């Protein structure tokens, strides 16, 4: 079971029973209690539940409707910063290039900027970005195959690996749930991280799209190591001291 599917299962169990225990969830989902504790901790960080001794309960400040749509709530975080990053990232793209986009909400903002470009090839695992770009007949859109993540518009898994091996992209634009120098770009889902590794391996340059809230944070699975990133596009609220530690990495600050 994918990490996102476990999270959906936990949210549904909380809606039904108003309480879950790590021991029961581990038995029902067939994973270790340690894995479940990590799931609960990350879901608590997102405000989706409150942990208790041995389990979790619904958050006091969230309605059940909000719990039912965790992906939507994440995509609505820092919209102004993401739009600014999308605009700044679009300036790095040239006519005739082959560009890869991940399925992040920040990459979607970039896709909305690229829809008016001519003669681009876009490779993505984001359904919404693909549909947005498909409005322009002069943009060639290649959708990476895989498993559609429940309650989202994101394709995960490595079923599209063979397609990626035959594609040579100029740029790969990718976001993450966190970024540190030691761990690199990290995501909650190991499956999502593995797909991003494959995408990065077939791109000449990797461009990180990270608003200031992602810098200095770490999630479960590394997708892109820091030394593989050529350019970081972030917003004006990014911590200057953190940016100074990035050494040779090109920093583009969106305004």
- pLDDT tens for 185-200 read 999 888 889 999 999 9
What percentage of the chain carries pLDDT values higher than 90? 54
Among the candidates 41, 68, 95, a domain finishes at 68
43, 49 contact by CB (below 8 A): yes
Question: What pairing do the DSSP bridges indicate for beta strands 155-156 and 169-174?
Answer: unpaired
Same domain, 132 and 13: no
**Average pLDDT over the chain, rounded to an integer:** 87
Point out the domain boundary residue: 68, 90, 106: 68
Say yes or no: 25 and 149 in one domain: no
User: Do 159 and 54 fall within a single domain?
Assistant: no
pLDDT tens column, 45-64: 778 888 887 888 888 754 44
Residues 79, 27, single domain; the answer is no
Same domain as 103, residue 54: no
Tell me the residue range of the domain where 140 lies.
Answer: 75-254
The pLDDT of residue 16:
83
Question: In which band, very low, low, confident or very high, does the pLDDT at 164 lie, cut at 50, 70 and 90?
Answer: confident
Give the pLDDT mean for 65-71.
43
Instruction: In whole angstroms, give the CA distance from residue 132 to residue 155.
Output: 16
Tell me which of 11 and 171 has the higher pLDDT: 171
Q: What is the pTM of this model?
A: 0.71
The answer to whether residue 69 scores a pLDDT higher than 60 is no
Higher-confidence position of 157 and 90: 90
E strand segments, 42-157 = 50-52, 55-57, 98-101, 120-124, 139-143, 147-148, 155-156
Note whether 32 and 106 are same-domain residues.
Answer: no
**Contact criterion met (CB below 8 Å) for 210 and 178:** no
Torsion of CA 5, 127, 101, 222, to 10 degrees: 0
> Residue 13 sits in a domain of what CATH number?
1.10.10.10
Whole-number Å distance between alpha carbons of 178 and 194: 15
Question: Would you state the pLDDT for residue 141?
Answer: 95
Is residue 73 very low, low, confident or very high in pLDDT (cuts 50, 70, 90)? very low
* Reported confidence tier of residue 76, pLDDT bands at 50, 70, 90: low
How much is the pLDDT for 151? 58
Are 20 and 113 in the same domain?
no
Give CA–CA dist 40/44, Å, rounded. Answer: 6
C-alpha distances (whole Å) from 73 to each of 38, 47, 48, 116 are: 20, 10, 10, 28
């Amino acid at each position: 079971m994918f990490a996102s599917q476990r999270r959906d299962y936990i949210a549904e169990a909380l809606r039904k029973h108003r309480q879950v225990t790590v021991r029961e969830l581990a038995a029902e989902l067939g994973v270790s209690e340690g894995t479940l504790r990590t799931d609960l901790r990350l879901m608590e960080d997102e405000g989706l539940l409150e942990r208790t001794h041995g389990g979790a309960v619904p958050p006091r400040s969230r309605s059940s409707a909000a719990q039912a749509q965790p992906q939507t709530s994440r995509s609505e975080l820092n919209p102004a910063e993401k739009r600014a990053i999308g605009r700044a990232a679009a300036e790095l793209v040239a006519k005739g290039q082959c560009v890869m986009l991940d399925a992040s909400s920040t990459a979607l903002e970039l896709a909305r900027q690229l829809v008016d470009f001519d003669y681009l090839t876009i490779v993505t695992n984001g359904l919404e970005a693909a549909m947005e770009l498909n409005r322009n007949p002069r943009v060639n859109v290649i959708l990476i195959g895989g498993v559609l993540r429940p309650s989202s518009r994101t394709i995960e898994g490595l079923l599209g690996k063979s397609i990626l091996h035959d594609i040579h992209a100029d740029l790969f634009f990718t976001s993450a749930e966190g970024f540190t120098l030691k761990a690199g770009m990290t995501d909650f889902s190991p499956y999502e991280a593995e797909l991003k590794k494959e995408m990065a391996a077939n791109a000449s340059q990797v461009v990180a799209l990270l608003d200031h809230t992602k810098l200095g944070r770490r999630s479960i699975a590394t997708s892109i190591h820091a030394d593989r990133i050529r350019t970081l596009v972030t917003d004006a609220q990014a911590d200057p001291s953190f940016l100074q530690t990035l050494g040779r990495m090109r920093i583009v600050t969106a305004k």
